[in-house]
């Protein structure tokens, strides 16, 4: 079973949105599990301190290597990849989510403040993962995004097996446009080909649309 462990100063943020809909049903049905650990439990002294001022000066606070390591070491060493949410990390890709979803789960460190002491990244072999080229105020929302991308791929979580294989990024490109009833809305009809019943034509139209959108919006995805 896919087991997610989160290390955070705000464990009450979890499961949050992952407690609803497909992911939430899967959680209740035991298809995956989630545990949010309070980093503060490993904090130092009376104030349970987890951070300190940056060596070399500068703004903000840095999370201490010893505190983070204690929290990581409290997790069973069972081969789960250990991730650190970070705008410096490798951008998350669908293929990576698919690989993690097929594995034993993830241990995810969700930092706050300026960042974490570099030494804990090296010493505990953390994989830095980014969810895009923008800066969030903490790792929790990024971790939710990573987990959502993985959890929906766990067998049984999504209703239909084929959903999830014909989607954006699965074959390299963006998905074709969707339509449903009513047949005409605010003067806009559904493209005639989709009502033709000709499956070969529909398939071709969808492929063309997908290629056009990918070319226009994400030329980096396909040659």
Residues that bind ligand SAH (CB under 6 A): 85-88, 111-112, 114-115, 130-132, 134-136, 138-139, 142
Nearest distance from C-beta of residue 81 to ligand SAH, angstroms: 15
Nearest distance from C-beta of residue 38 to ligand SAH, angstroms: 17
- 154-173 burial code (b ≥16 CB/10 A, e <16): beebbeeeeeeeeebeeeeb
Nearer to ligand SAH, 80 or 112 (CB): 112
Please tell me the distance from the alpha carbon of residue 128 to that of residue 104, in angstroms, as a whole number: 19
Nearest distance from C-beta of residue 25 to ligand SAH, angstroms: 27
Nearest distance from C-beta of residue 146 to ligand SAH, angstroms: 8
Nearer to ligand SAH, 23 or 85 (CB): 85
Nearer to ligand SAH, 130 or 214 (CB): 130
Please tell me the distance from the alpha carbon of residue 148 to that of residue 18, in angstroms, as a whole number: 7
Nearer to ligand SAH, 135 or 200 (CB): 135
Cβ partners under 8 Å of residue 78, min gap 6: 104
Give the DSSP H/E element, type plus range, for residue 213. helix 199-217
Secondary structure (3-state) at 100: helix
């Amino acid at each position: 079973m896919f087991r997610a462990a989160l290390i955070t100063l705000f464990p009450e943020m979890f499961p949050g949105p992952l407690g609803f809909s497909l992911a939430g049903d899967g959680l209740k049905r035991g298809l995956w599990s989630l545990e949010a650990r309070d980093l503060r439990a490993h904090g130092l002294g009376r104030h349970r301190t987890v951070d300190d001022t940056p060596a070399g000066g500068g703004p903000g606070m840095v999370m201490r290597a010893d505190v983070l390591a204690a929290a990581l070491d409290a997790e069973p060493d069972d081969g789960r990849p250990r991730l650190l949410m970070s705008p410096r990390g490798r951008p998350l890709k669908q293929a990576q989510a698919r690989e993690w979803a097929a594995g034993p789960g993830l241990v995810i460190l969700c930092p706050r403040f300026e960042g974490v002491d570099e030494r804990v990244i090296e010493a505990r072999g953390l994989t830095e993962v980014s969810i895009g080229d923008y800066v969030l105020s903490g790792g929790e929302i990024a971790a939710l995004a990573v987990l959502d991308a993985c959890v929906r791929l766990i067998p049984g979580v999504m209703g239909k097996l084929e959903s999830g294989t014909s989607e954006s990024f699965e074959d390299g490109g963006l998905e074709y446009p969707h339509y449903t009833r009513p047949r005409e809305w605010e003067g806009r009809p559904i493209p005639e080909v989709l009502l033709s019943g000709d499956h070969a034509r529909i398939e071709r139209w969808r492929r063309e649309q997908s290629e056009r959108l990918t070319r226009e919006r994400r030329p980096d995805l396909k040659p």
